[in-house]
Amino acid sequence: MNPIVESIKDTPLFMGMSGLELNAVSAFLEPRRYVAGAVIIRKGDPGTEMFIVRSGRVASLSVDGDGNQRVLYQFGPGRFFGEMSIIENETRSATCTALEDTELLVLDGIDFYRLVWEHPMIGSRMLSSMARVMAGWLDEASGFLHDLVRWGETARKRAVTDGLSGLFNRRFIEESARARFSRGSGEPPTCSALMLDLDRFHLLNERFGTEAGDSIISTAGAAYSRLVRDGDVAARLAGDEFAFFLPDASADEAIAVAERIRSETEALYLEFRAGSGATPNRVSLSASIGVATSPGDAADAQMLFAAADQALFRAKESGRNRVVRYTR
């Protein structure tokens, strides 16, 4: 059995999960060792990770009014801490140190949100387990679970999504692409990236105003969210710039997806008024898209998106409303 799965299968956080679910979780957990007395997190630091004690003991510390350090809580094997800073998007509320030589399993914040987003059942069980354990610690009322899920949902959306388009944000798509490359066998994986600009968006924004521009982005985002395949990632980068990451797509598959997105964009239209009382103007949209594929076009995630961006530039230079594949 996977050694990480073996060490987490009976912990309260993952209680009741199947072997497949535990294997999926274990891929996101990083073992990390601390010697006795080492500081793990400091009060006031950004909260970007949560921790599960694999062995050893950890103390949560606070300073009282007299300046004396007090132990608030001790975490032994199977216990977890640091999750609320991720859920609430807040700084650390306490300092935690290793009371003895300790091994932790570390879950990065972005991976926590990916688990909740990509594996809803795993995310739901983790949040429920957190609620049960923390309810015991804090002796909270029955409404605690509802509040925890609500906090987690708000924090997840804020961390990984773009509010205007409803798609993922730049951080999430870049992390997803880097993770795909880092989990390979040493050879660059087969995957593709699309870079998309809405044609003449800035002219429309200037003519009809920022509210119209926001409506265009929202409409395009809703369309793109329907078009991506299971496992693909659609994101808004900034302004009218969008990106798509297709983890297992060949060049031909990526071009087919890009053509479908371009065609759907061309079918979209909105109506705007240039001013109060003016006749409505029917506005059609179009998009230019650049396509790049690994391993032929790039050896890492950064190179992949850079190649797709170069192809996008050529698509715009050659007349817009078209798909162009990257060529060296």
- Relative to beta strand 49-55, strand 281-284 is unpaired
Residue type for position 199: D
pTM: 0.56
Q: Of the ranges 73-77, 140-144, 224-228, 249-253, which one carries the lowest mean pLDDT score?
A: 140-144
CATH superfamily, domain 170-325, is Reverse transcriptase/Diguanylate cyclase domain (3.30.70.270)
* Tokens 């050529």 found at: 314
- How would you list the strands of the sheet with 287-294, edge to edge? 233-238, 241-246, 191-198, 287-294, 323-325
State the average pLDDT over residues 195-206: 90
The band of 301, judged by pLDDT with boundaries at 50, 70 and 90, is very high
- Relative to beta strand 29-34, strand 80-81 is unpaired
Per cent of the chain over pLDDT 90 is 36
Q: Which pLDDT does position 315 carry in this prediction?
A: 94
Higher pLDDT, 34 or 45: 34
Residue type for position 33: R
Q: Which pLDDT does position 32 carry in this prediction?
A: 93
Dist. CA 166–CA 28, nearest whole Å: 25
Architecture label for domain 3-160: Sandwich (2.60)
Dist. CA 220–CA 232, nearest whole Å: 17
The CA-to-CA distance between both ends of the chain, in Å, stands at 45
Tokens of 108: 């990065």
In DSSP notation, 56-92 reads S-EEEEEE-TTS-EEEEEEE-TT-EE-HHHHHHT-B-
Dist. CA 125–CA 115, nearest whole Å: 11
Q: Residues 51-102: pLDDT tens digits?
A: 999 999 999 887 655 566 777 788 899 888 888 777 777 788 889 999 999 9
Q: Which of 233, 244, 229, 231 is CA-nearest to residue 287? A: 244
Q: Which pLDDT does position 145 carry in this prediction?
A: 46
State yes or no: pLDDT of 233 exceeds 70: yes
Q: Which pLDDT does position 141 carry in this prediction?
A: 37
Neighbours of 230 (CB within 10 A): 5
Between helix 109-118 and helix 144-160 the angle, nearest 10°, is 100
Asked if residues 297 and 307 have their Cβ atoms less than 8 Å apart, the reply is: yes
State the average pLDDT over residues 233-242: 92
Q: Which pLDDT does position 67 carry in this prediction?
A: 61
Q: Which pLDDT does position 206 carry in this prediction?
A: 84
Neighbours of 163 (CB within 10 A): 11
Q: Of the ranges 39-48, 124-133, 163-172, 231-240, which one carries the lowest mean pLDDT score?
A: 124-133
- pLDDT mean across residues, the chain: 84
Identify the active-site residue in 240, 252, 300, 309: 240
Name, of 3-7, 179-183, 195-199, the range with top average pLDDT: 195-199
- Whether 3-160 and 170-325 share one fold: the answer is no
Active-site residue flag, 300: no
> 285: helix, coil or strand?
coil
- Relative to beta strand 323-325, strand 287-294 is parallel
The band of 144, judged by pLDDT with boundaries at 50, 70 and 90, is very low
State yes or no: pLDDT of 325 exceeds 90: yes
Q: Phi/psi class of residue 259: alpha, beta or left (left: φ > 0; alpha: ψ in -120 to 50)?
A: alpha
Element (H, E) at 235: strand 233-238
Dist. CA 171–CA 162, nearest whole Å: 10
Q: Give every CB contact of residue 41 below 8 A, 6+ residues apart in sequence.
A: 47, 51, 82, 92, 95, 96
State the average pLDDT over residues 246-273: 90
Q: Which pLDDT does position 142 carry in this prediction?
A: 43
Domain coordinates in residue numbering, the chain: 3-160, 170-325
Tokens of 27: 């891929």
Dist. CA 325–CA 328, nearest whole Å: 10
Higher pLDDT, 46 or 312: 312
Dist. CA 252–CA 240, nearest whole Å: 25
